[in-house]
Structure 1
């Protein structure tokens, strides 16, 4: 888990003048904004969702096996009320057995072990009930989190006020429960002659809006 204050090199704007004759120069404009506020995310238990040891005999041979859900508390504390999103980075990208989920690593360099996702519940912004939202286009538009759209590996996540308007809100403190749901690939697709370690890993990075 890390939080980075990105230098928001958000826009590189090339402006080219056109006339009857070709111009001998062009402008390059670099834009961005450095915020004086900082937000720090913290996951309970060091951010480790440990499923412990289980037997290969517990796995379904021809479909995913879903392990007991693990609930982890997450808090984000900001110096002042700040609008922000959470940018998830799948540190095992390319190993998930389901689209927009996080990967669990590989066996023998090519067998995908499974996937996990996180589900936000009990969302509180500055002590008030809020709703989990997400964006699939980098923050241009926002959707409610739910069965049709969820906090996935390819989205950015945020929190909005309850109601019809779906947009991130500024807050000083965010508290929520993350329900970690893990699925193991069908046993018939895996080499399980030796002990195998679940190797899921994601970085949750603060993105200032």
Structure 2
């Protein structure tokens, strides 16, 4: 009986061994591509949009208030023609009163003051009119859209084909900034409140 038990035990150990060894390792692959080209983005006016002082009495209590639309010129200059994407990074993430907008900061640490939208208007790439496009799946597909959504990547395409970006060396585009203050019935405006929007505009190489 003992001899039979030992034989069965040994058989079970041998049967389990391959599965135990197979789960002990995993492979890591690191990939990428170093490009000799580089691009430099610039914004007119030092990238500043200033609405000055706004009276709380001029703001709407039950819906957002558009306090202004401003346009800056953005340029991207590259060493050579290259495929690029444009990424807007919200430095006040979590303070926007809407999912697709960029934040304007918080009041008392938890009240969302408002939001602003960015639009890419009238893009010109290497002296030729082009159209703004956006990808929602990291470059697998593209479509025409002037809205610069911080969740996605934007680029430019030929006027005849919005399905893919085109390489460019020099790009100029009107950056439209639409700024809104959230409904005031949920905001403490008993003291002066700074409008505190901040974003980083990044060039990504495709």
TM-score range, shorter chain: 0.7 to 0.9
Q: How does 1:27-176 map to 2 (within 5 A)?
A: 27-146=27-146, 150-176=147-173
Kindly name which structure, 1 or 2, has the bigger radius of gyration based on alpha carbons: 2
1:193 pairs with 2:190: yes
Q: Deviations over 1:101-155 (max 9, x none)?
A: 1011100000000000111111100010000011112222111105xxx311111
Say if 1:26 and 1:120 are closer, same or farther in 2 by CA, change over 3 A.
Answer: closer
Unpaired segments of 5 or more residues in structure 1?
A: 1-19
Kept in 1: contact 2:120–2:176 (CA 8 A): yes
Pairs aligned (count): 187
Report the TM-score when normalising by structure 2: 0.86
- Following TM superposition, by how much is the alpha carbon of 1:177 offset from its aligned partner in structure 2, in angstroms? 0.3
Distance 1:124 1:104 in 2: 30
Distance 1:51 1:163 in 2: 38
Distance 2:149 2:54 in 1: 26
Distance 2:58 2:181 in 1: 11
Distance 1:25 1:117 in 2: 47
**In the alignment, which residue of structure 2 is the partner of 1:8?**
none
Which of structure 1's runs of 4+ aligned residues deviate more than 2 A?
Answer: 20-29
Q: Deviations over 1:10-64 (max 9, x none)?
A: xxxxxxxxxx785686643321111000000001011111111111111011110
Question: Which residue of the other structure, out of 175, 178, 202, is the alignment partner of 1:178?
Answer: 175
Kept in 1: contact 2:96–2:104 (CA 8 A): yes
Query: Which has the larger share of helix?
Result: 2
Report the TM-score when normalising by structure 1: 0.85
- Following TM superposition, by how much is the alpha carbon of 1:165 offset from its aligned partner in structure 2, in angstroms? 4.1
Kept in 1: contact 2:101–2:115 (CA 8 A): yes
Q: What is the SS of the residue equivalent to 2:68?
A: coil
Unpaired segments of 5 or more residues in structure 2?
A: 1-17
Say if 1:155 and 1:27 are closer, same or farther in 2 by CA, change over 3 A.
Answer: closer
Distance 1:166 1:75 in 2: 23
